[in-house]
């Protein structure tokens, strides 16, 4: 009986340790792994001639659910809604799109959706089709899928601005793909650190969640600044608490550079503290996005 008790105790200890490492462990942040030079970003934002954006609209035509414990290390296991937002940056003439959400068929590749709004998705497809440029915060299927599934997806490629790193790891597209040969002559964006791509829009390298992750800075004509962070954090609480996804999700399922993502949320928190009006736009945070719509930072429907 003593031996059996010792074995059971060992199993409990090892199981508890494994659970701690997989779900609860959070190392100290290494802030040397990531930084953003705001002076350089702001300079680049006005380096391309032309009027600056006047407003930004958003919609989430589809969403999924994850346990909170998978969203942020230390959260509870209760289900947490993750709407999948896309964004329309509106200029006096025309617009640019950031991210493209996905459709129901694509959502099934990852376990299905918790909701789908066909009218919102139809508006998204119209906005994608009339955009002058389309950028992606990163190359996961729930961010590129809507562009790939567009009825004129091949013609749309002339305005789709994928980066070389977003194309370099097709496994990160998670089964969403263009027809064979469609990308043979495609010339992706390539940049080191930062790149101005339109009046008021700057790409900021943010590899971590994926190799092709980037933060997209937008400056509105009235001076309002935005960071579209994609999946650096799935919920703003990750930035506020300087916590990332747990090891099991980060390493086991996503293959992230967790240490660099941790440094990114720390940098975002520091930049927000130094720039209180900076609007950090999180790709899957319904309460925060709702409050940003209510305050006028974001419009609630694509034009």
Which residue(s) pair with 264 in the sheet?
none
The answer to whether 289 and 281 are in contact (CB under 8 A) is yes
pTM: 0.96
Distance CA 67, CA 89 (A): 32
The answer to whether the CB of 54 falls within 8 A of the CB of 92 is: yes
Q: What pLDDT does 3 receive?
A: 64
For the chain, list residues with pLDDT below 50: none
| pLDDT score at 135 | 98
What are the boundaries of each domain within the chain?
38-294
Look at residue 16 in the predicted model and tell me its pLDDT. Answer: 80
> What is the SS3 assignment for 184-221?
CCCCCECCCCEEEEECCEEEEECCCCCCCCEEEEEECC
**3-state DSSP assignment of residue 120:** helix
What CATH number has the domain spanning 38-294? 3.60.15.10
What pLDDT digit, counting tens, does each position of 180-201 carry? 999 999 999 999 999 999 999 9
Distances (CA, A) of 225 to 52, 126, 191, 221: 11, 26, 22, 9
Q: How far apart are CA 71 and CA 265, in angstroms?
A: 14
Looking at residue 172, its pLDDT comes to 95
Burial, 251: exposed, middle or buried (Cβ in 10 Å; 0-12, 13-18, 19+)?
Answer: middle
Query: Where do we find the tokens 């790939």?
Result: 148
């Amino acid at each position: 009986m003593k031996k059996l008790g010792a074995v059971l105790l060992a199993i409990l200890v090892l199981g508890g340790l494994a659970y701690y490492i997989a779900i609860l462990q959070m190392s100290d942040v290494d802030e040397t792994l990531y930084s953003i030079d705001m002076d350089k970003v702001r300079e680049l934002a006005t380096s391309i001639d032309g009027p600056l954006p006047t407003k930004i609209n958003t919609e989430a035509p589809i969403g999924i659910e994850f346990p909170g414990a998978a969203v942020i290390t230390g959260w509870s296991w209760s289900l947490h809604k993750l709407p999948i937002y896309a964004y329309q940056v509106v200029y006096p003439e025309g617009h640019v799109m950031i991210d493209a959400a996905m459709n129901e068929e694509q959502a099934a590749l990852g376990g299905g959706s918790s909701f789908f709004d066909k009218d919102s998705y139809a508006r998204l497809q119209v906005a994608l089709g009339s955009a002058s440029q389309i950028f992606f915060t990163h190359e996961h299927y729930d961010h590129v899928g809507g562009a790939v599934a567009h009825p004129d997806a091949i013609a749309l490629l002339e305005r789709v601005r994928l980066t070389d790193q977003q194309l370099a790891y097709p496994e990160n597209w998670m089964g969403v793909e263009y027809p064979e040969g469609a990308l043979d002559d495609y010339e992706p964006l390539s940049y080191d650190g930062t790149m101005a791509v339109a009046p008021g829009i700057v790409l900021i390298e943010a590899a971590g969640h994926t190799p092709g992750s980037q933060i997209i800075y937008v400056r509105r004509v009235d001076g309002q600044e935005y960071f579209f962070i994609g999946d650096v954090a799935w919920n703003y609480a990750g930035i506020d608490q300087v916590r990332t996804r747990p090891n099991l999700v980060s390493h086991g399922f996503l293959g992230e550079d967790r240490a660099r993502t941790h440094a990114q949320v720390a940098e975002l928190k520091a930049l927000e503290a130094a720039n209180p009006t900076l609007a950090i736009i999180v790709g899957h945070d319904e309460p925060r996005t709702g409050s940003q719509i209510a305050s006028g930072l974001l419009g609630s429907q694509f034009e």
